[in-house]
Amino acid sequence: MDTPPEGAGEARDGVGSGHCVLAEGGVCIAQSVKIPREPKAGEFDKIIRRLLETSNARAVIIFANEDDIRRVLEAARKANQTGHFFWMGSDSWGSKIAPVLHLEEVAEGAVTILPKRMSVRGFDRYFSSRTLDNNRRNIWFAEFWEDNFHCKLSRHALKKGSHVKKCTNRERIGQDSAYEQEGKVQFVIDAVYAMGHALHAMHRDLCPGRVGLCPRMDPVDGTQLLKYIRNVNFSGIAGNPVTFNENGDAPGRYDIYQYQLRNDSAEYKVIGSWTDHLHLRIERMHWPGSGQQLPRSICSLPCQPGERKKTVKGMPCCWHCEPCTGYQYQVDRYTCKTCPYDMRPTENRTGCRPIPIIKLQWDSPWAVLPLFLAVVGIAATLFVVITFVRYNDTPIVKASGRELSYVLLAGIFLCYATTFLMIAEPDLGTCSLRRIFLGLGMSISYAALLTKTNRIYRIFEQGKRSVSAPRFISPASQLAITFSLISLQLLGICVWFVVDPSHSVVDFQDQRTLDPRFARGVLKCDISDLSLICLLGYSMLLMVTCTVYAIKTRGVPETFNEAKPIGFTMYTTCIVWLAFIPIFFGTSQSADKLYIQTTTLTVSVSLSASVSLGMLYMPKVYIILFHPEQNVPKRKRSLKAVVTAAAMSNKFTQKGNFRPNGEAKSELCENLEAPGNLQGPACVIQPAIARRIIKACHHNLPFFSIKPHNYVFIASEDEQGGGERKQREVGFAQEMGLGSFSQTSSYSIRRTRTPTPILGAATPGGPLNFQGTSSSFYSKTSPSLLQSTVGRERQI
């Protein structure tokens, strides 16, 4: 720091030259602070705070007058920084007592310089003899007298209550006050002699042989005089040669002092000198707190490993240490560089190391629940398959549609098996199988269910309009439709393999945490979230479509092709997948994304398969194993059917009477037999009506045998015997064309004690004659709805 004194360039020159010399010597200046000419209150406190910004730079070189030096020391003591700074003062500090008076501890260790000098004894004798009477020519002498003797020359200047006395003019310098010769007296004397020698040489050259000034020196040319001053060479008052270099500077000869405290006494001790080069005696130096050990004063501490230097502009030795952050490592002292994407910095950030790679382990807690569901589900599926194969020809297995049932079981099995593929270590084979089977199992399941519900829907919709059979309702047609739907999924997978071949990848982005210590690479298959949506999208479309058909067929009787169980299955499945979507995609930013999404997906697939298995197959298995009496042909049970005939235009005999409730009854055939009498008159039905009855029953009763032009109509009769009511089923007719019946034959598919066929005969274009037991055919309110009363009023 420096004080720019007005009218003098000492500080400015010292600072300027000091910067250059220090820079040449590799010494850096951490801060350069200027002391204002007229400092305000608190200005020196600000200076100390600024110096503390670079607290490791403890050496302070100060170019200032002794008053400013003292204020700086006072501010340092006020900031409780005694012993922190090491002061280095210019010759304005020198060996003076005034700057350090009562500040000895703060100034301890200060190194100052003073030009080499000797005391001029003649000046001491002269100055000590000066009084107010014999030194009136010096206008500042009176002020010096008051300050030196602590008195006032004027009585009016005295203040009441003050301890300042009036000067008596009998005081003597050196006797009544401390006196020390000013250190620059020698140089003032030499300067006066240098001026004299220069004028003498100039006069000799310009005014040879003349006394006094000649015209060439009147007036004196200052520029010319300066040249003569720089050329003087004489012996000074101390015996040293007085010369000047080309810059006008005298040779530097300095004594180096250190302000030391020893045994409660303070003194400036000479520790070296400078005469063309440095002579320093280190053993004489003493530093506060560390004795003779040299203190450290550096602009910046060396950076630690993993930190880079950020230099301060204009100060190459000063820098800020900035740590390499994130995934950066230290390349050199000044550079941090980011590690490759598959690596992370070492602990001290001096290099990079591979990021650990993780995958879902078989023993992971996240895999316990999916594996448990899969194992139990596969065992249950195999149990159902074995049961169905063993009881393959029983009515319950037949009524469930054996072909589609086995297809659905295959899809359920694949859904459970997918769990093992999702947890297995990703490689080329595993990733390929994931692409194939993740959506295939669900597609097979929902394609089979969709085919079933669509068949039921088409049968009942067709029955509302006509009794003609819908197309593609045979088992072969159902399998063809199912595999057509499945083939679309397989086609999409094949296209995917062609466009983007399967492979495993290590994703370093999913678990790239802010702290590289916790970064992990995730080994997984190259199936993005978008690809997963496309993969499962087709299965979801089949599921939604199947749900729509399940809603449309919810009102059919429960005995018809599992319409209601399929509906409940689809409703529950939709709920499962609606819960899956927010959990799966809502955790895309989680650090545990791999575990959460894999667990959620596998559990959802297993639950969907479990719903289908539990609602559609477990009730059947239960009946097969625990209630075999119910797994018998339908002929032993009451026969129920809804026969829908479309827009019957035929006319038939009606008895125009009404039921008690006002319902019209149209009797097509009367009950003409007596109990036990099997020989009754014929019942005549128009061929068109019979034809529609037969076809409607075939469409709606799954246990009818289905052959081209062969419709077996099963009727029922009551038989009284042994105190029990028995049922008989008899069949009639073989339709050989669309408009006539011929070649009547007896047909019975039940076991009875006395088979009694009902014979029916028809001629082309003529009526169909029935002969049989207690059977009456009538319609209720609408001629398009036919019902049969068998013993009790049972519906056919």
Task: Determine phi and psi for 59, rounding to 5 degrees.
Answer: -85, 125
Residue that is last in its domain, among 613, 630, 647: 630
User: Which CATH number is 320's domain given?
Assistant: 2.10.50.30
Q: Among residues 479, 454, 612, which one has the least CA distance to residue 545?
A: 454
- Please say if the pLDDT value at position 284 is more than 60: yes
The angle subtended at Cα 158 by Cα 155 and Cα 160, nearest 5°, is 125
Span of 433-447, 531-545, 645-659 with lowest mean pLDDT = 645-659
Question: Do 650 and 622 share a structural domain?
Answer: no
- Please say if the pLDDT value at position 287 is more than 80: yes
Summarised one tens digit per residue, pLDDT across range 364-401 is 889 999 999 999 999 999 999 999 999 998 888 887 78
For residue 666, give its domain range: 635-789
Domain membership flag for residue 582: yes
Residue 738 has a pLDDT of 28
Q: Among residues 508, 513, 524, 526, which one has the least CA distance to residue 355?
A: 508
Confidence at 161, pLDDT banded by 50, 70, 90: low
Residue 673 has a pLDDT of 34
Domain membership flag for residue 290: no
- Please say if the pLDDT value at position 236 is more than 50: yes
Summarised one tens digit per residue, pLDDT across range 570-587 is 888 889 888 888 887 777
Residues 762-786, mean pLDDT to the nearest whole number: 32
Domain membership flag for residue 90: yes
Give the CA radius of gyration of the chain.
Answer: 60
- Please say if the pLDDT value at position 220 is more than 80: yes
Contacts of 371 (CB under 8 A, 6+ apart): 362, 419, 420, 423
Domain membership flag for residue 181: no
Tokens coding 729? 């089923």
Percent of the chain at pLDDT exceeding 70: 73
Domain membership flag for residue 216: no
**Is the overall model pTM greater than 0.85, yes or no?**
no
Question: Do 573 and 432 share a structural domain?
Answer: yes
Residue 465 has a pLDDT of 66
Is 324 exposed, middle or buried, given 0-12, 13-18 or 19+ CB atoms closer than 10 A? buried
Span of 217-231, 670-684, 772-786 with lowest mean pLDDT = 772-786
Summarised one tens digit per residue, pLDDT across range 399-425 is 778 888 999 999 999 999 999 999 998
User: Which CATH number is 578's domain given?
Assistant: 1.20.1070
Number of domains in the chain: 5
Residue 552 has a pLDDT of 83
Question: Do 389 and 432 share a structural domain?
Answer: yes
Residue 744 has a pLDDT of 33
Residue appearing with tokens 């791999």: 594
Residue that is last in its domain, among 630, 652, 668: 630
Question: Do 779 and 714 share a structural domain?
Answer: yes
Residues 522-536, mean pLDDT to the nearest whole number: 83
Q: Please give the Cα distance from 169 to 9 (Å, whole number).
A: 37
- Please say if the pLDDT value at position 8 is more than 70: no
Residue 757 has a pLDDT of 35
Residue 395 has a pLDDT of 87
Residue 463 has a pLDDT of 64
Summarised one tens digit per residue, pLDDT across range 641-687 is 333 332 232 333 333 333 333 333 333 333 333 333 333 333 334 44
Helices (H), 38-114: 43-51, 66-78, 104-107
Residue 160 has a pLDDT of 66
Contact 186, 117 (CB under 8 A): yes
Task: Determine phi and psi for 598, rounding to 5 degrees.
Answer: -65, -45
Q: Which residues lie across from 344 on neighbouring strands? A: 353
Question: Do 138 and 100 share a structural domain?
Answer: no
- Please say if the pLDDT value at position 511 is more than 90: no
Alpha-carbon distances of 516 from 328, 333, 709, rounded to whole Å:
9, 22, 78
Summarised one tens digit per residue, pLDDT across range 50-98 is 988 888 888 999 999 989 999 999 999 999 998 889 999 988 898 888 8
Residues 210-223, mean pLDDT to the nearest whole number: 88
Question: Do 644 and 604 share a structural domain?
Answer: no
Q: Which residues lie across from 279 on neighbouring strands? A: 273
Question: Do 723 and 622 share a structural domain?
Answer: no
Question: Do 150 and 260 share a structural domain?
Answer: no
Residue 789 has a pLDDT of 27
Residues 269-275, mean pLDDT to the nearest whole number: 91
List the beta strands (DSSP E) in 573-723. 657-658, 664-667, 683-685, 706-707, 710-711, 713-721
**Average pLDDT in the chain:** 75
SS3 label, residue 38: coil
Confidence at 272, pLDDT banded by 50, 70, 90: very high
Does the bond joining 356 to the residue before it have cis omega, within 30 degrees of 0? Answer: no
Tokens coding 532? 């997963």
Question: Do 164 and 77 share a structural domain?
Answer: no
User: Which CATH number is 263's domain given?
Assistant: 3.40.50.2300
SS3 label, residue 683: strand
- Please say if the pLDDT value at position 196 is more than 90: yes
Residues 789-794, mean pLDDT to the nearest whole number: 28
Question: Do 760 and 740 share a structural domain?
Answer: yes
**What is the DSSP pairing of strand 746-747 with strand 165-166?**
unpaired
Domain membership flag for residue 136: yes
Domain membership flag for residue 758: yes
Domain membership flag for residue 487: no
- Please say if the pLDDT value at position 784 is more than 80: no
Residue that is last in its domain, among 630, 651, 681: 630
Residue 770 has a pLDDT of 36
Annotate 343-376 with b (16+ C-beta within 10 A) or e (fewer).
bbbbeebeebeebeebbbeeeeebbeebbebbee
- Please say if the pLDDT value at position 128 is more than 70: yes
Q: Please give the Cα distance from 437 to 794 (Å, whole number).
A: 49
Question: Do 84 and 163 share a structural domain?
Answer: no
Summarised one tens digit per residue, pLDDT across range 695-738 is 555 444 444 333 333 333 333 333 333 333 333 333 333 332 32
Question: Do 531 and 428 share a structural domain?
Answer: yes
